[in-house]
Amino acid sequence: MRLDDERESSYVEDRRGSSSGRGGGMSMGTAMMLWPLIRPLLRTKFGWAIIGIGVVAYMAGLNPLALVGGGGMQSHTPVNKAKEDKQVVFMKKVLAGTEDVWKAIFAKHGARYKEPRLVIYRGYTHSGCGGAQAEMGPFYCPADKKVYLDLSFFDELAHKLNAPGDFAQAYVLAHEIGHYVQDLQGTLDKVQKAKQSWGRSSARSNALQVKVELQADCYAGIWGHYAQQKFHILEPGDIDEALNAASSIGDDTLMKKAGRAVRPDAFTHGSSAQRVAWFKRGFETGDIRQCNTFR
């Protein structure tokens, strides 16, 4: 990507220097995941010893799930600060590009686009939606209108998911900004209300969530379309990087990598083919009306 002359967004919170520890305590989600493991340990002295080790590790900023082999994809490789600083600058420039593109699109439709904030961290930090940690991957939090990005995810994207490249990283951020756009449109609120009305219908909820994620992929393509028109950012191979990233994080591909059977009813983000198709639709048309995945 050619971003040398582009501006950097000022809507970025860099928490890398203060995000490795757990600070304000364990999130409810983490506690609930650990309870089935903790409960039987309470019955023996040896179990209490394990719990004590886990607490010490947690306070030191480590993931307690790693002690029982459930620690997600967090990277423990040494951090190259100079390289990472350049990566932060790159993210700021990509974010600025999304601001310019979506401001123009919203203005065209008689609406105002207010910039979201991007929180960059490593390890752990707090969000309006609860604790944010590396294992969760990038996400958008509607409660505080912020995108959370642990930079170690890009290490995983490149080395474990075989999706390297700067445009692959830009696609990930553009996808999360797509969720913010959905929030402004009222889509996320409608989806949440629908899920609540269905109660325990996980299959229906999953299917609806797939539509949300595929629309965000399409919106990422919309950003790529107009960013190229406005700033001529693309270099040979960039679009292939985005398509490869979209394919690498499709639900079916991830299930296969994990040695699990592919179950479409358990999809939450869409298949590799779907994610690629919706990104391409947004990129090729530049028409936000073509991103209606809810039809």
Domain locations in the chain as residue ranges: 22-60, 78-291
pLDDT above 90: percentage of residues in the chain: 73
pLDDT at 137 over 50: yes
Number of Cβ within 10 Å of residue 192's Cβ equals 14
55 pLDDT higher than 80? no
Confidence grade of residue 199 (pLDDT, cut at 50, 70, 90):
confident
pTM of the model: 0.81
Q: What is the mean pLDDT of the chain?
A: 87
Region 232-252 average pLDDT? 96
DSSP-based three-state secondary structure for 140: strand
Residues 6+ apart with CB under 8 A from 279: 171, 217, 218, 220, 221, 224, 242, 243, 246
Question: Which residues sit opposite 132 in a β-bridge?
Answer: 125
Confidence band (pLDDT; 50, 70, 90) for 109?
very high
Mean pLDDT of 152-181: 96
Residue 118: HSE in the Cβ half-sphere, 13 Å Cα cutoff = 28
b/e 6-25 (16+ beta carbons within 10 angstroms → b) = bebbebbeebbeebbebeee
**Mean of pLDDT values over 200-220:** 94
CA 175 – CA 190 distance, rounded (Å): 19
**How many Cα atoms are found within 13 Å in the side-chain-facing hemisphere of 57?**
13
pLDDT at 228 exceeding the cut of 90: yes
> 147 vs 45, which has greater pLDDT?
147
pLDDT score for 201: 74
* C-alpha atoms less than 13 angstroms from C-alpha of 230 in its C-beta half-sphere: 20
DSSP 271: -
* pLDDT, mean of residues 249-276: 96
- What is the tens place of the pLDDT at every residue in 59-99? 544 544 444 333 334 444 567 888 899 999 999 999 999 99
